[in-house]
Amino acid sequence: MISHESLATGRDVSASLYVEIQQFYGRHMRAMDECRVEVWTSDFTEDAVFATNARPEPQIGRTVIAEGARKAAQLLTEQGDRRRHCVGTLEVSERPDGTVVAKSYAQLVRTPQEGETVLELFCTCEDVLIREEGRLFIKHRQVYRDDLPEN
């Protein structure tokens, strides 16, 4: 059980787990930003749920999530824009059942071809991660864009 004290200090999460998640996001976000959709998609469990206030219904299952990501990557490639997910302000906690909750902030930074870089939008992300065969996978993702209503 996680005590109030450990929740307050975050000391219950080991440095190696916290760093593992930083590495996970480094790789995960870079994969998306470089349009390596297969790599990005492989970070989700087969039955993962991706919910966001930018869509009326959550995407359910890795196949559906992958389809959405491929379309987004294709659009970005057609536009010739670069888009980066600058992820940070990470807060990690472990649940009694062994799943990991990772809260992060993401600034989306877009640069049109030889154009000026702009902060396109901001979102919060809350992932529930599970470990399978030694590595972490996203089982549930909840993203909120700050520029859209919560529901």
Closest listed residue to residue 140, CA positions, set 89, 105, 99 = 99
State the sign of the Cα–Cα–Cα–Cα dihedral 33, 52, 24, 61: negative
By CB under 8 A, residue 148 contacts a copy of itself: yes
By CB under 8 A, residue 3 contacts a copy of itself: no
Q: What is the rounded CA–CA span in Å between residue 130 and residue 49?
A: 13
What is Dmax (Cα atoms) for the chain? 53
- Interacting residue with a copy of itself among 68, 105, 142, 143 (CB under 8 A): 105
CB of 55 to a copy of itself, least distance (A): 16
Contact residues toward a copy of itself (CB under 8 A) are: 5, 8-11, 13-16, 18-20, 22-27, 29-30, 82, 84-92, 103, 105, 107, 109, 111, 114-122, 124, 134-136, 146-149
